[in-house]
Structure 1
Amino acid sequence: MTKLLEVKGLHSFYDESHILHGVSFEIEAGQAVSLMGRNGMGKTTTLKSILGLVQPRSGHVFFKGEEISALPTWQRMRKDIAYVPEGRGMFHNLTVKEHLEMAARPNNRGEQHWNYERVLETFPRLQERLSNLGTQLSGGEQQMLAIGRALVTNPDLLILDEATEGLAPLIRKEIWDVIRTIKESGISTLIVDKNIQVLKELCDRHVVLVKGKVVFNDDSEQLLSRLDEVESYLGV
């Protein structure tokens, strides 16, 4: 398989606080990879370091074989990366329809597998909320909109931070079903979430962080064989 994302030796700081200690992992084209760890272990910092929202003091990020470590965030996103942030990132002055129309574009190959209509078919309840502001939606509806907004950019890599955090059980199931559909469509995913029971079935590989260091980086078969160990890292 083709390496889509390569993260090599990231050391990231907030002021003088050393958060990431040599984080390295890879995502191959078409793979779903989980990024797990207790709160405060460096998961969101890892995502932000990949995207350039935090600039690592050392280490490298490669996407499709090109080093993007020195690029500003907006240029990295233009490489066909999409991000669903923790907190969903709704624009206060845009309706549901405007969120989707504003973001829509083909990928760099001119392909547009996900468009406005397909997102509404995938999330029917957004169809009922088109004229509502994004901030007027429930938490679950906001997550649907955030994922839909990411999908209409037709990314090769979709990054989801806390994919189902704080959502009701039925909404969580709906979101996981959509993430499975995204994977089946060929989009690679990097997923931060706490639900190891779902992630071990959905994802191809798993990365676990403890205090900013990678303590597990392997496939689902190895995860299952070392499940007790991995769960101890997660406090499950």
Structure 2
Amino acid sequence: MSNLLEVKSLHSLYGESHVLHGVSFSLDPGQALSLMGRNGMGKTTTLKSILGLVTPRSGTVSFKGENITDLATWQRIKRDIAYVPEGRGMFHNLTVDEHLQVAARANNQGENVWDYDRVLDTFPRLKERLSNLGTQLSGGEQQMLAIGRALVTNPELLILDEATEGLAPLIRKEIWDVIRTIKDSGISTIIVDKNIQVLQGLCDRHVVLVKGKVVMNLDAEQLQSNFAEVEGYLGV
């Protein structure tokens, strides 16, 4: 099976600050990958380097066999990649309905499995708040809307940064259930989150970053065998 995504030897900097030091990993179609590490270890920079929001000094990003390293962010997104950013990225002047309608489209294969109606069926709370501005929602509802807005683009790869950060336990459980449904529907995912127990049961691969370097790259079985060591890197 060929890789859906291959990240190879990424070096990314903010000014003179060298953040990523040769980050490499790959993701196969339909897989879920967790990107773990303490705060400030380069997780978000890795995601932004994949998306073109940060330009790597060196290294490559390939998607479905195509080198996309030099493409603009919008060109990468048009290749059926979707992003749920940390902070959720609500548009201040758009309602819930408008957030979903403006993003909705079939993917490059003409598939529209995650259409507007399916997203609202998946997140019934949003159906009750269609006329509310995105910024008027609770944190949990904003996360639902951010995920829903990504899903209506029918992506092949969904990237979630801090998937359940700051959410109440019941909302976190609801979000995790939806992410499992997303994975079961065949969408590949990269997930940044601190809940190693949930990630262990959900993801096929696990990448641990320390100071911008990959120190562990494990499959699910290897994570189970090295669980204590991974916890040590995360400071759990």
2:148 equivalent to 1:148? yes
Q: 1:86-165 counterparts in 2 under 5 A? A: 86-165=86-165
Q: Give the equivalent residue in structure 2 for 1:48.
A: 48
Aligned-partner Cα distance in 2 for 1:145–1:176: 14
SS at match of 2:208: strand
SS at match of 2:87: coil
2:9 equivalent to 1:3? no
How much does 1:2 deviate? Answer: 3.0
| TM-score calculated relative to the size of structure 2 | 1.00
Aligned-partner Cα distance in 2 for 1:2–1:159: 19
2:78 equivalent to 1:78? yes
How much does 1:198 deviate? Answer: 0.1
Aligned-partner Cα distance in 2 for 1:22–1:134: 38
Letter matched to residue 157 of structure 2: L
Q: Give the equivalent residue in structure 2 for 1:65.
A: 65
State the 4+ residue runs in structure 1 displaced beyond 2 angstroms.
none
How much does 1:22 deviate? Answer: 0.1
SS at match of 1:198: helix
SS at match of 1:41: coil
Q: 1:26-45 counterparts in 2 under 5 A? A: 26-45=26-45
Letter matched to residue 105 of structure 1: R
| Percent of aligned pairs with the same amino acid | 81
2:154 equivalent to 1:175? no
SS at match of 1:3: coil
SS at match of 1:201: helix
Aligned-partner Cα distance in 1 for 2:149–2:123: 11
How much does 1:65 deviate? Answer: 0.2
Letter matched to residue 119 of structure 1: V
How much does 1:20 deviate? Answer: 0.1
Letter matched to residue 53 of structure 2: L
Pairwise CA RMSD of aligned residues?
A: 0.4
Q: Give the equivalent residue in structure 2 for 1:21.
A: 21
Letter matched to residue 49 of structure 1: S
CA deviation map 1:146-202 (0-9, x unaligned) = 000000000000000000000000000000000000000000000000000000000
CA deviation map 1:10-30 (0-9, x unaligned) = 000000000000000000000
The total of aligned residue pairs comes to 236
SS at match of 2:107: coil
Aligned-partner Cα distance in 2 for 1:130–1:227: 42
Aligned-partner Cα distance in 2 for 1:77–1:208: 25
Aligned-partner Cα distance in 1 for 2:121–2:110: 22
Letter matched to residue 110 of structure 1: G
SS at match of 2:4: strand
Q: Give the equivalent residue in structure 1 for 2:204.
A: 204
Q: Give the equivalent residue in structure 2 for 1:12.
A: 12
Letter matched to residue 20 of structure 2: L
Aligned-partner Cα distance in 2 for 1:125–1:46: 32
Letter matched to residue 67 of structure 1: N
What residue ranges of structure 2 are gaps of 5+ in the alignment?
Answer: none
Aligned-partner Cα distance in 1 for 2:147–2:141: 10
SS at match of 1:30: coil
Letter matched to residue 86 of structure 2: E
How much does 1:218 deviate? Answer: 1.3
| TM-score calculated relative to the size of structure 1 | 1.00
